[in-house]
Structure formats: C-alpha cells, structure tokens
Structure 1
Amino acid sequence: MLRSLAPVLAVLLAAGCAAAGEEGDGETGTGGTGPITFATGRDTTAYLQPLLDRWNQAHPAEKVTLLELPEAADEQRAQMVANLQARSSRYDVLGLDVVQTAEFAENGWIIPLERGLFPLDRFLPPVVDTAIHKGKLWAVPYTSNAGLLYYRADLVGKPPQTWAELRDQARRVTKNRDIGGYAGQFLAYEGLTVNFSEAVQSAGGQILSPDGTEVTLDPAKGATALAFLQQGLREGWIPKESLSYKEEESRLAFQEGRLVFARNWPHAYGPAKARLGDKLAVTRLPGLHGPGSSTLGGINLAVSAYSRHQHTAQEFIRYFTGLENERRVLTEGSFPPVWTELYDDPELIRRFPYLPVLKESILAAKARPVSANYNQLSLVIASSVAQALSDPYAESADDVAVSMKSELEEIIRTQ
C-alpha cells in the first residue's frame, strides 16, 4: 500500500520545533488575554490576512498572527498533533478539518466552548453537528464545504446527473478535442478518501456508521464506486496525471482548459470564473442512478488547551465567525460560509450563481464518521484506493473492497 512520507516529515519537523524550546510551560486558562497565533491550512487565495488586519487594527494589544500549515489536511493534522503532544503554547486558535473535532476533543487538545456565545441556530444544521462531540461544543464552524462538479458549458449541453452520463459526455468531448475528461483529487491523501467516500455514498452505500463504531461498507457498493474510477483510467477519459492531483492541481488543470469536468470544492469557483468566464458552470456531483452525495467538508475553529491567551482566542473566534466576516469569507475568499441566510441573499446569488446548488449539496452531504482513530481509517482507504488506481488493470475492485473492509474492521476493533 502507498504511504506518503510528508506527514511523517511534518511530525518530525514540528516536534523538532517544540523540542527547541516552544513547550507550553506557562499558565493556560480561559481568562488569558494577549497576542495569539491562528494556525490553519495554507491560504491559496490570499484572502485571510486582510480579514485578520481588521481584527488587529481594533485589538492592538491582542493581535493575531497567521501561521500557515501545509495545504493537505493530513499534513496539517500531523503538524498540529506534534505541537499539541509537546504541550506547546505556540498555537492558540486551530483551524481544524471538520472530521478532526472528535479526535482533538478526546485527546484533551482543545477546550469546550460555551454554546450561548455563538449564534449556532443561524448556521447550517449539518455544519453545527460537526463541531459537537458527546453533547459539548468543542469548536465553532467557520467555513463549510461540499464537492461540486465543475464543467465546461461551451463543451457540454445538459450537465450529467449520473456516472453513465458523465462517462459518455467525457468520452465524446475527449474523442474530438485535445482535452482530458474528468479528474478529482486522486493522490494518496485525505482528498482521495473524500473522493472515494463520495463515490460510495453516490452508489447508495456508506463506509462507517455515523458514530464511527461499525464498518458498514457493503463490498459490492465499494467495488462499484472503485470500478467507476478504474474504468475512467482504463478508457482514458480520466487522465493518468490526475493520480498526482490534490485540490490545487485539479483546480489549475480545469481552469487552464485541460479538463472538461472536475470535482472540486467551491473555493475553486472564483479563479475558474475569472479565467473561463461564461464557459464555466457547476452542478451537483453525479451518482450511480442520479445526483450523488458529497462529503461534508469545512473548517472549524477551536481553542488550544495549551494556549496562554484563551479568552482572546475565544473572542477572536466570535469575531471571525460573525455574519459580516462570514460574508467576506465568501466574497473575498470564495469559501462557503456557515450562516444559512447568506445562501439566500439575492445580491450574493447574482455574484455567486452556484450558491443555491451549493446549499442543496451541503444539506444533502454526509459527514465523515466521528472517530478518534479517523486518521488511521483514512490512511487505509486512501492507500487502498491509490494502489487500485495506479494499475486499474491489475487490481480487482471486488478484492480491494473486501480487503479494505477487513482492514477497517481491525482498526475499529482496537479502538
């Protein structure tokens, strides 16, 4: 099975920094005020710093410094875990992938927050659920996410709703033009776990129970999902170079005119629109028999248990998840906000025509399982699928699905 060295190197580097004297030996507590550090994934659209500047201008004694972690979610996790295991106070506010809330809460790395401080009833309900673990609020939703199908409106008529329609349209266009058919995020990392999970869901199945305590993967549905991707690689409408794609690579390939269809998150819309104009369109992900189901993504903001300035950190989160800032998250960063009313704003819909489709996709999306061992589960899924896609002729989809289920069950048994 494939294993990426990047997360391992990230752990070693981060641990080295902690060993160099960044351990949190000072006092922590919810009453601390002062400068804070916001650790989150790399800002690929350069929208974050202007938003932070607004806070800094109003809070000169409690300035926030942006610390950008790697782009990939599993590499971000590796650096944060190394920092927190060292009990370092370097990070104050953590930008967590929504699937990480349970793990960080279970390990005591983040503190519970007071629900009444945040207008959760005005947020999208599925998004709020990702921030709650065992009845407590451990983080605050900052951005949501659901996968969308980007497509070239000048090359495609009616957008595909099923995999068969996607395949037929991709094959037709690529036969007559020098362009790839379809790509998602197929490198062996968390993005591939997401893409495969979406395919399983869109085939009518699921990998784990909602509470993460039981493997519910039907090998037949898992094989159907995997076989669809393998078929695309064998037939050539999924280009082989997509096996090295993360979000940025697939975004660039589409907006540069090298793909007819691409699965990506909404943040890719702004740059693609600027490049392609009216040639760009988006729709829901297709499925086996009709519209498919996305994996629910997004970022939740949490306060480190080792922060020396936890009061400031919590107040910053209140500001950063407020309505006006959430509007800017959309207008300046092209990231999906968590406030329900923003998806129904006529002015925003004129500027971002995909909002109604995105809202529908988020409400129909499925969250990844709540599990303290999620990272191990994700590694098994991503490596198994990557191996099967690397040689789509040699690997049987049925065998891979059966083996994957067995490995996942072993992890669940040892929880």
Structure 2
Amino acid sequence: GRGRFDVLNIDVSWTSEFAAGGWIRPLPRDRFPLDTFLPGVVDTATYDGLLYAVPYVTNAGLLLYRADVLDAEGVAPPRTWAELERAAKTLAPAHGLDGYAGQFLPYEGLTVNAAEAVYSAGGTILGDEGERVTVDSRAAREGIGFLARGVRDGWIPQEALTYKEEESKQAFQDGGLLFLRNWPYAYVAASAEGSAVAGKVGAVPLPGPDGPGTSVLGGSNLAVAAHARHPDSAARLIAYLTSEPVQRQVLTRGALPPVRAALYDDPGLVRRFPYLPTLRESVLAAAPRPKSPRYDQVSLVVQAVVRDAMTGRQTPESAVRRLARELAAVSAR
C-alpha cells in the first residue's frame, strides 16, 4: 500500500501474481513500441488480456556442448532427445566427461527444466491463466520420464541433482560436462579467457523428442507499482530503459538478452556474441512459464514432484498423476 517504489523490475513469472494481487497497474499498449520486440516476449507481460508490464530482458535456455569432442567424433550437435542421450551415454565417458546437466536442485530452476521437458514433448501444465490443470498427459509423462531416465541410467550425474545455474555453469566451464542446459550467460562465461573450455563451446536450441524442443522464457519485465507517486514519470523511464540504445547496452555491458528484435540481426553484435542467432531462434520458439496468480505455489509443487521422479521415489506416471492432483488443489484455493 505504500508508494516508495514507482518502477518494479519483476521476474517474468511474477506478472500474473502481481497483477492479480493489485500490486501493479495496467499500462497503455500504445505508449510502448511493442511491435519492435521479439514476438512472444510481450505475452510474459500480460494478464487477463491487459498489459501490466513491459519486457526489459528476455532469455531462453540453450544446449551448450563441447564442440571439440563432437567434432573429433564426427557427430553433429543433438537435435533430439535420442541423439542427446546416445552421445551422453557413449561419447561423454569415452572422453572422461559426465553426459548432461541442467538445474535440478529443487528450486525455480527445476520448475523451468521440467516445464521445458513437458513443453518440448508437446504438453502444457496449466491453462486459462492458471484456472485449468492440463498436465495429466502423455507429453508430461514423456518429458518427466526423459529427466528421470537420465538420472537412472547415469548420463545425468547424481551431482547434477544439486546444481543451480552457477554450479552447472561451473561444471561445464571446468571441463566436466559434454552437454549443459543453461541460459546464454553461461556461454559467455565458458567462452571467456581463463575458462578451461574457451574456444571449444557450441550452442544449439534445446532438443525435443523429434526435433528442436521448447525453452521456457526467462528474463524480467518492468512494471509501474499500483501506488506509484509518479506513474507518468515511471512509464517514461520504462520507455527509456526499453529503447534501442539502452537495450544494446543490456547486451554489450550486461551480457543479457535484449528484447529488441533488430539487435539480433546486427552484424557487429553477432560477431561479438555468436550465439545470438541461436538465441533468437530459441526465444521465438519459447513459451512462458505456467501463468497463475498463485505461481509460487505452482512452482513449489512442480519442484517437489519432479524431484521425486528424478530420484526414483515415484515413477513418471505416478508423478504426473500426483502433479495434476496437487496443482488442482492449488488452483482451487
């Protein structure tokens, strides 16, 4: 109820919760050049048909890989789960590496990795702004089964069950992994001077069952607080922070993916950040996290259930049924 802050920089997954809670105010679409943004990112800033924020930074997961190892073996970067699994099982141990890791500690990162697996298989988790549970599907069983099978068969190392973004990045950067799912900043770090794998890193979109998969959209949005004392100035500040010159600095000085589409085709930026075309492809194919005004509770449920599936305490089939029940209970509150 206070007006101390005018502009809030919120995670893309918080838009629905903040809007439903009355903590941020709707914004006029015509005040911002939304048509210059990457298609899809604006969806993370809407709730119930209204614009409640403006995208500031976007993100999509990439599959980083050891290009030197794949080149030496004459193997192309994986486009499917089967190709990823085969290389992680055979090539990785032959080169003294672990196969594949993501962010599998029970926190928001595990929710993201699980959602990507379900989305990549063609499924969803929630519909109708969180009012409908859609996770009980063959696709969800396939996606969660992919992650559980990796741990069971050993091509996802047990250590990966403790990884967040930084731990997984470091494992890859230190030369311990063949494949890593992470955000683009991990590519920048792994390619930097002093990294054990500098000059040996490639990036492709996340694989899926039959071809390229679907990433979850990351990033943050800028919103005007419901009780802002200077709402007009706040909107002007947001317009400035999402302008092309500032968005360029978001990338060049912060190594964060901008929301302005034209920057992904800038030859100078592509030379400096060679993963930009792949990232653009991944962002365009990405999907928001499940929208819900109770998103924090939704995420906690997903983390707990998927963790039990990955550690073998539940089968993927029973985990999906439990996930559907617990998400229905959250939605009914």
TM-score bracket for the superposition, by shorter chain length: over 0.9
Residue 99 of structure 2 is matched in structure 1 by: 181
Residue 214 of structure 1 is matched in structure 2 by: 132
User: Which one of the candidate residues 85, 97, 102 is aligned to 2:11?
Assistant: 97
Residues matched between the structures, number: 326
The residue matched to 1:411 in structure 2 has which SS?
helix
The residue matched to 2:104 in structure 1 has which SS?
coil
Matched, 1:287 2:287: no
Residue 16 of structure 1 is matched in structure 2 by: none
Question: 2:105 is aligned with what amino acid?
Answer: L
User: Which one of the candidate residues 310, 327, 333 is aligned to 1:408?
Assistant: 327
Question: 1:172 is aligned with what amino acid?
Answer: T
Q: Note if contact 1:141-1:300 (Cα within 8 Å) is conserved in structure 2.
A: yes
Q: CA deviation at 1:168?
A: 1.0
Residue 396 of structure 1 is matched in structure 2 by: 315
Q: Note if contact 1:219-1:405 (Cα within 8 Å) is conserved in structure 2.
A: no
In 2, Cα distance between the equivalents of 1:135 and 1:200? Answer: 25
User: Which one of the candidate residues 60, 66, 69 is aligned to 1:152?
Assistant: 66
Question: 1:266 is aligned with what amino acid?
Answer: P
Question: 1:293 is aligned with what amino acid?
Answer: T
Q: CA deviation at 1:88?
A: 4.2
CA offsets, 1:166-225, max 9 Å, x none? 111111233223322111111111111110011011112111225332111234322222
Q: Note if contact 1:182-1:238 (Cα within 8 Å) is conserved in structure 2.
A: yes
Residue 137 of structure 1 is matched in structure 2 by: 51
Q: Note if contact 2:13-2:289 (Cα within 8 Å) is conserved in structure 1.
A: yes
Question: 2:162 is aligned with what amino acid?
Answer: S
CA offsets, 1:276-319, max 9 Å, x none? 33201000101111111111222101122234444443332222
In 1, Cα distance between the equivalents of 2:29 and 2:316? Answer: 45
Q: List aligned pairs for 1:1-400, cutoff 5 A.
A: 87-156=1-70, 157-209=75-127, 211-274=129-192, 275=195, 276-389=197-310, 391-392=311-312, 394-400=313-319
The residue matched to 1:383 in structure 2 has which SS?
helix
Residue 51 of structure 1 is matched in structure 2 by: none
Change (3 A) 1:319 1:246: same
Q: CA deviation at 1:116?
A: 2.6
Question: 2:59 is aligned with what amino acid?
Answer: N
Question: 1:204 is aligned with what amino acid?
Answer: G
Change (3 A) 1:383 1:90: farther
In 2, Cα distance between the equivalents of 1:191 and 1:95? Answer: 19
Q: CA deviation at 1:373?
A: 1.5
Question: 1:256 is aligned with what amino acid?
Answer: D
In 2, Cα distance between the equivalents of 1:185 and 1:123? Answer: 28
In 1, Cα distance between the equivalents of 2:281 and 2:107? Answer: 27
Length-normalised TM-score, structure 1: 0.75
Q: Whose Rg is larger?
A: 1
Question: 1:265 is aligned with what amino acid?
Answer: W
**Percent identity at matched positions?**
52
Q: Using CA pairs below 8 Å that are at least 6 residues apart, which structure has the higher relative contact order?
A: 2
Q: Which runs of 5+ in 1 are unaligned?
A: 1-86
In 2, Cα distance between the equivalents of 1:132 and 1:223? Answer: 29
RMSD: 1.7
Question: 1:193 is aligned with what amino acid?
Answer: T
In 2, Cα distance between the equivalents of 1:173 and 1:210? Answer: 43
CA offsets, 1:27-83, max 9 Å, x none? xxxxxxxxxxxxxxxxxxxxxxxxxxxxxxxxxxxxxxxxxxxxxxxxxxxxxxxxx
In 1, Cα distance between the equivalents of 2:175 and 2:261? Answer: 33
In 1, Cα distance between the equivalents of 2:22 and 2:237? Answer: 21
Length-normalised TM-score, structure 2: 0.92
